[in-house]
Structure 1
Amino acid sequence: MSVTAIILTKNEARNIADCITSIQCADEILVIDDESTDETVSLAESLGAKVISHPLQNNWAQQRLFAIEQAQYEWILFIDADERISEKLNTSITKVVKEEKRAYLLERHNVFHHNKATHGVLRPDRVLRLLPKDGITIIGYVHEKISSPYSEEKLQGALYHYTYDNWQQYFNKFNSYTTLAANRYKDEGKSCSFVRDIMLRPMWAFFKMYILDRGFLDGKIGFILSINHYFYTMTKYVKLYYLLKSNGKL
């Protein structure tokens, strides 16, 4: 049983080397690059990765499906450029791909340069990232859902996610993701109520992250991230509201 690790990139020169060198469990490292203008491609190739240029076109699902088609081996490991495979997780992956086919959930831990957040928005979560190639389905433009016909199990070892370098990067992604979410909701025929979705839903989003998911235990950064989650929720529905009302124009 052999593994292809798939990394989707766009100007990830600051991350790609550390990401690739952390992967010790794959027989092939496949980088699908969205026309980077920095040194992403040359760095990846210098570390032995196979790089294929393919435009993202704001559709993460189609990009992953394209990548699967290019994969040489029967097990797929999805990893983002800002993630790192721990030593324990490498060992676990090497072991389980020799056994019966299953789909595996990896425990993702979020890491900052100078802050720590282990509750609320950035609490550790489980993500489906290791699975047999056959039968994979992926839907959604952004925060796409990966599914498999195989039974799911948890895998030992941490997947480290290095979140954001600065607030500019954070809000650039905030703006991009809320636009993609609004467009997806529109394509799916989702309605939008001003009171329910723009006034009330963001309040619930904040309450859930700050109180129920204990974001308050992370101090200042926990409060900031919970408030930002309020505005993230509101913004995607504001964009949807005006897409439906006036095709996005004010």
Structure 2
Amino acid sequence: MKLSAVLITKNAGPEFAKCLESLAFADEIVVLDSGSTDDTLAVAEQFGARIFQSDDWPGFGPQRQRAQSHAQGEWLFWIDTDEVVTPELASSIQRAIEQAPAKKVFQVKRLSWFFGRFIRHSGWYPDKVVRLYRREEFGYDDALVHEKVHCPGASVETLGGDLLHYTATNFPDYMSKSVRYAEDWAEGRARRGKKASLFSACTHSLGAFVRKYLLQRGFLDGRHGFLLAVTTAIYAFNKYAALWIKTRR
């Protein structure tokens, strides 16, 4: 088996069917679910995915490691449930795995949708992330959130085409996910003995807004860019506030 498309899921959301449909070029689709209560598993079955389930949640990095253990392909392509592969990217993936030497990994360019508009500035595009590698060579790190592929010594090449990322289509869901990520980030920092203050929460929040809106030219994305800068500042505040609360306990 040449290529496995791998996902971790929990209540995958409205883009899940489009996501799976865009993976028709893969030899198998592997889904590791952690307790979905909606139609996620039914949709996955509809597209012929191999479905596995976990009873606990160890964090994003460890969960991806678990999912990798279920894949059978020589190559792994990772995708999230709110992402869609464009035809150009699918063709680029197929060409890449036919001719790549050892110790070669591939990154994709994510083009993200934010409440009605694809964001092309604000530091969001091209959002390059490693998503394609040989199963026996590399894997994800242990980070609870903002996990990355651990690929020391690898050469990295960027694939053609975009990975469409429908990250923000529902405001309550987007903000609740942001709070969950902030909590996971704080938990990881607290385990390493890190501390924070409310003052640092404020300064990091202000810095996040300035960086996103001015330095990364979020103003070129119009009102959407301003909203993105504000929500980024809120996320930064929540991270350090959550860490402050944990250290006070």
Which amino acid is 1:131 matched to?
Answer: Y
CA drift of 1:123 comes to 3.3
Residue in structure 1 matching 2:126, options 112, 124, 127: 124
For residues 52-95 of structure 1, give each alpha carbon's deviation from its aligned partner in whole angstroms, at most 9, with x where no partner exists.
11145151111100111111112110000110111011111111
In structure 2, C-alpha distance between the alignment counterparts of 1:146 and 1:55, rounded to whole Å: 24
**CA distances 1:22-50 after superposition (whole Å, capped 9, x unpaired):** 01331110011112111111221121111
**Structure 2 match to 1:189:** 193
What are the within-5 Å matches in structure 2 for residues 33-48 of structure 1? 33-48=33-48
The letter for the 2-side match of 1:170 is Y
129-138 vs 203-212, greater mean Cα deviation? 129-138
Distance 1:113 1:236, change over 3 A: closer
| Alignment partner, residue 91 of structure 2 | 91
Equivalent residue runs for 1:1-250 within 5 Å: 2-12=2-12, 14-55=14-55, 57=57, 59-99=59-99, 100-101=101-102, 102-112=104-114, 114-120=116-122, 122-134=124-136, 135-149=138-152, 150-195=154-199, 197-245=200-248, 247=249
Q: Does structure 1 conserve the Cα–Cα contact (< 8 Å) formed by 2:109 and 2:125?
A: no
Over aligned residue pairs, what C-alpha RMSD do you find?
1.6
Kept in 1: contact 2:86–2:164 (CA 8 A): yes
Q: Distance in 2 between matches of 1:228 and 1:113?
A: 12
Equivalent pairs: percent with the same residue? 33
- The residue identity in structure 1 corresponding to 2:42 is S
Are the aligned partners of 1:56 and 1:63 in contact in 2 as well (CA < 8 Å)?
no
Structure 1 counterpart SS, 2:196: coil
* In structure 1, C-alpha distance between the alignment counterparts of 2:227 and 2:48, rounded to whole Å: 40
Instruction: Give the gaps of 5 or more residues in structure 1.
Output: none
Contact 1:192 1:237 (C-alpha < 8 Å) held by counterparts: yes
Instruction: Please give the alpha-carbon distance, in whole angstroms, between the structure 2 residues aligned to 1:43 and 1:18.
Output: 10
Name whichever of 223-232 and 56-65 sits farther off: 56-65
TM-score, structure 2 length as denominator?
0.92
Note the alpha carbon deviations across 1:182-229, whole angstroms, 9 max, x for none.
11110122222443x223222211111101100011111111110111
Task: Please give the alpha-carbon distance, in whole angstroms, between the structure 2 residues aligned to 1:114 and 1:201.
Answer: 27
User: How far apart in 2 are the matches of 1:116 and 1:72?
Assistant: 34
Are the aligned partners of 1:77 and 1:129 in contact in 2 as well (CA < 8 Å)? yes
Query: 130-139 or 25-34, which moves further after superposition?
Result: 130-139
Checking the alignment, whether the CA contact within 8 Å between 1:210 and 1:222 is kept in structure 2 is: yes
Q: What is the TM-score with the length of structure 1 in the denominator?
A: 0.92
